[in-house]
């Protein structure tokens, strides 16, 4: 990783971080006036994609979304703040953390309402993965996220490999098909 002082290749998370703000309207909600999970996921995906493309300086696609948690309902009339920043970059992929806050504009209270981790891959015009610059964490919080992102990646890749093996095993016919 090249994050030494004066190095030009690594970037701090603050350079690509975004905050997006939305007002929840009736067309974003279900019959009870609660924000639809799918609508929130779209907003989260877009915020995270902006971070990924800003950091990579390339077109990025969503490869995986994991650990998504909806903690509190968000209602029509609430303000949604979506904070997204890059946690760590690997070879061609990077992890973006997204935290959602619900704000009640009447009394000003702000509550943590949802979180997720999204993995993006930088690609060229033919869909071929391209290298991304390293992330250079600066603050204690950014260093914590950087360390934890590596653990999540290992779990993600191990699970992917396990599922691949399982599918390979179950695809083997025990009995040859009848002629
Ligand atoms: C994501 C995609 C480009 C990966 O292509 P691929 O041929 O599998 O590429 P590779 O196996 O070489 O992996 C490239 C990187 O992606 C990562 N990756 C691939 N699939 C992943 C997954 N499901 N979860 C996490 N990371 C993944 C790999 O770990 C690797 O990262 P690294 O280079 O940092 O180590 C390809 O699967 C794709 O185009 N998917 C569709 C993406 C899309 O359209 N998203 C929008 C939703 S419709």
- Does domain 13-171 bear CATH number 3.20.20.140? no
Give the percent of the chain with pLDDT over 90.
85
Residue to probe by mutation, ligand 1, list 129, 130, 156, most atoms within 8 Å of CB: 129
Q: What is the pLDDT of residues 87-112, one digit of tens each?
A: 999 999 999 999 999 999 999 999 99
Residues with CB under 6 A from ligand 1: 61-64, 90-93, 119, 121, 123, 127, 129, 156, 160
CA 63 / ligand 1 centre spacing (Å):
5
> What pLDDT does residue 41 have?
97
Cα dist from 125 to 42, 54, 59, 135, whole Å? 23, 17, 9, 24
CA 75 / ligand 1 centre spacing (Å):
34
Enumerate the domain spans of the chain: 13-171
Q: pLDDT class for 5, splitting at 50, 70, 90?
A: low
Give the separation between CA 132 and CA 122, rounded to whole angstroms.
7
Q: What is the pLDDT of residues 7-41, one digit of tens each?
A: 568 999 999 999 999 999 999 999 999 999 999 99
Atom of ligand 1 nearest to the CA of 89: 34
Residue nearest to atom 47 of ligand 1 (CA): 62
Cα dist from 43 to 35, 62, 113, 138, 149, whole Å? 12, 13, 14, 27, 22
Residue nearest to atom 40 of ligand 1 (CA): 63
Please name every residue paired with 121 in a beta bridge, in sequence order, or none if there are none: 61, 93
Torsion, CA 26, CA 28, CA 34, CA 36, rounded to 10: 160
What beta strand segments (E) does the chain contain? 18-23, 60-70, 79-89, 93-103, 110-122
- In sequence order, which residues have a C-beta less than 8 Å from that of residue 47 and are 6 or more positions away? 18, 20, 82, 83, 84, 98
CA 96 / ligand 1 centre spacing (Å):
14
Q: What is the pLDDT of residues 113-148, one digit of tens each?
A: 999 999 999 999 999 999 999 999 999 999 999 999
């Amino acid at each position: 990783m090249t994050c030494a002082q004066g190095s030009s290749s690594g970037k701090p998370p603050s350079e690509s971080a975004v905050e997006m703000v939305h007002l929840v309207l009736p067309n974003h909600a279900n019959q009870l006036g609660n924000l639809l999970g799918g609508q929130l996921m779209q907003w989260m995906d877009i915020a995270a994609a902006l971070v990924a493309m800003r950091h990579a300086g390339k077109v990025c696609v969503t490869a995986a979304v994991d650990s998504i948690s909806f903690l509190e309902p968000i209602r029509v009339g609430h303000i949604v703040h979506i904070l997204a920043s890059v946690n760590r970059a690997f070879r061609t992929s990077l992890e973006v953390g997204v935290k959602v806050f619900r704000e009640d504009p009447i009394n000003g209270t702000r509550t943590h309402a949802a979180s997720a981790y999204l993995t993006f891959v930088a690609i060229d015009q033919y869909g071929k993965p391209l290298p991304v610059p390293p992330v250079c964490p600066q603050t204690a919080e950014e260093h914590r996220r950087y360390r934890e992102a590596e653990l999540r990646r290992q779990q993600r890749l191990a699970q992917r490999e396990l599922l691949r093996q399982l599918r390979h095993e179950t695809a083997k016919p025990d009995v040859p098909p009848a002629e």
